[in-house]
């Protein structure tokens, strides 16, 4: 288990490498990459069981980035953990790259599930967890959903399935960054009480700051002590574009051309 200082430092490194990667490409889903950095740090820095040198290791825990457009943040995490060389990040979206913008399990070492069509990751998590159960394995499956993504009805079918079949080893994070592609969640399709919704579906649910590695780690630990046979939902209360004030404040920070000067300024600040 890494100390929280290490998890904070790891999150900072993930953020820096993600920005560098997006800067090289010149555009991308910047906002939704930034808001999952701390959760990725906690999962890959402390919580998950995996072997970077053997990504297909049978006894690994699984991770699904259901909001697959956040791929670059996951790729930066995997590179920093040694799944592949960090300089692969310079090839994002280039012809024949192993790092497309969205997650592709057939291309990228360490990516377990292909995503990008929103709404499907939780169903896949359920299937993996059911498989673990049938085999009597104690592994976990972690999935990050977008808050906009939660408008997809399939999530709620999957939520119902998970509680009915007591899939206690599913941990779903909702990146509650308050925005989706077309604007603010409350204007486009309001989510209401997201924690309460998961509880109503028979889940253990809690809400934490999505930018606080210690809080995220503690929330996972507490959930695992208290959930009984319930699947676990952790709502990440956060800000789209988090960690870089200029990104946070942009009118539209979902997908944009990343100005090299702004990227360098952000990187320098994070490196300081
Ligand atoms: C099924 C489906 N419908 C629409 C899209 C287009 N799309 C890509 S990202 C996005 C917004 C997602 O918002 P959210 O889940 O909140 O992601 P984040 O804020 O983390 O970027 C949409 C609608 C898609 N990828 N898949
Ligand atoms: Mg969102």
Q: Where are the alpha helices (DSSP H) in 26-95?
A: 30-34, 37-42, 71-80
What residue owns the CA closest to ligand 1's atom 19?
180
What is the whole-number distance in angstroms between the Cα of residue 147 and the centre of ligand 1? 9
pLDDT digits (tens, 9 = 90+) for 143-167: 999 999 999 999 999 999 999 999 9
What is the whole-number distance in angstroms between the Cα of residue 32 and the centre of ligand 1? 9
What is the whole-number distance in angstroms between the Cα of residue 216 and the centre of ligand 2? 18
Name residue, tokens 């990725």: 40
Euclidean distance between CA atoms 164 and 2, whole angstroms: 35
**Does the CB atom of residue 181 touch ligand 1 within 6 A?**
yes
Residue 66 and residue 36 in contact, taking contact as beta carbons nearer than 8 Å: no
DSSP character at residue 251? S
CA 202 distance to own-chain centroid: 23
Task: Look at residue 60 and give its three-state secondary structure.
Answer: coil
**Does the CB atom of residue 119 touch ligand 1 within 6 A?**
yes
Q: Which of 121, 117, 39 is nearest to 77 (CA)?
A: 39
**Token output for 93:** 């979206």
Per-residue pLDDT of the chain (272 residues; tens, 9 = 90+): 567 789 999 999 999 999 999 999 999 999 999 999 999 999 999 999 999 999 999 999 999 999 999 999 999 999 999 999 999 999 999 999 999 999 999 999 999 999 999 999 999 999 999 999 999 999 999 999 999 999 999 999 999 999 999 999 999 999 999 999 999 999 999 999 999 999 999 999 999 999 999 999 999 999 999 999 999 999 999 999 999 999 999 999 999 999 999 999 999 999 99
**Does the CB atom of residue 240 touch ligand 1 within 6 A?**
yes
Q: Which domains does the chain have, with CATH numbers?
A: 4-271 (3.40.50.970)
**Token output for 198:** 């998961």
**Does the CB atom of residue 114 touch ligand 1 within 6 A?**
no
**Token output for 104:** 């592709």
**Token output for 247:** 């990104």
Q: Which of 165, 170, 163, 188 is nearest to 178 (CA)?
A: 188
CA 50 distance to own-chain centroid: 16
What is the whole-number distance in angstroms between the Cα of residue 1 and the centre of ligand 1? 33
pLDDT value of residue 3: 72
User: pTM higher than 0.95, yes or no?
Assistant: yes
Mutate to test the pocket of ligand 1, among 36, 68, 69 (most ligand atoms within 8 A of CB): 69
**Does the CB atom of residue 101 touch ligand 1 within 6 A?**
no
pLDDT value of residue 2: 63
pLDDT value of residue 261: 97
Q: Which of 57, 50, 114, 112 is nearest to 82 (CA)?
A: 50
Q: Which of 164, 157, 93, 166 is nearest to 121 (CA)?
A: 157
């Amino acid at each position: 288990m890494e100390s929280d200082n290490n998890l904070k430092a790891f999150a900072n490194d993930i953020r820096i490498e993600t920005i560098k990667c997006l800067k090289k490409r010149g555009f991308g889903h910047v906002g939704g990459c930034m808001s999952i950095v701390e959760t990725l740090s906690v999962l890959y820095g402390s919580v998950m069981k995996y072997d970077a040198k053997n990504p297909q290791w049978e006894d690994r825990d699984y991770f699904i980035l259901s909001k697959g457009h956040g791929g670059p943040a996951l790729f930066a995490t995997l590179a920093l953990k040694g799944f592949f060389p960090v300089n692969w990040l310079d090839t994002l979206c280039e012809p024949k790259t192993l790092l497309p913008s969205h997650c592709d399990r057939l291309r990228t070492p360490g990516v377990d599930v292909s995503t990008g069509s929103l709404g499907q990751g939780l169903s896949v998590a359920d299937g993996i967890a059911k498989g673990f159960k049938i085999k009597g394995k104690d592994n976990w499956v972690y999935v990050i959903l977008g808050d906009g993504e939660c408008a997809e009805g399939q999530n709620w079918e999957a939520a119902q399935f998970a509680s009915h079949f007591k899939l206690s080893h599913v941990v779903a994070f909702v990146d509650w960054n308050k925005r989706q592609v077309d604007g603010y969640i409350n204007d486009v399709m309001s989510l209401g009480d997201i924690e309460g919704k998961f509880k109503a579906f028979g889940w253990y649910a809690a809400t934490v700051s999505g930018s606080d590695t210690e809080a995220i780690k503690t929330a996972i630990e507490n959930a695992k002590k208290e959930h009984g046979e319930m699947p676990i939902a952790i709502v990440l209360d956060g800000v789209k574009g988090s960690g870089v004030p200029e990104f946070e404040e942009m009118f539209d920070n979902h997908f944009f051309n990343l100005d090299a000067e702004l990227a360098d300024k952000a990187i320098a600040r994070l490196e300081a």
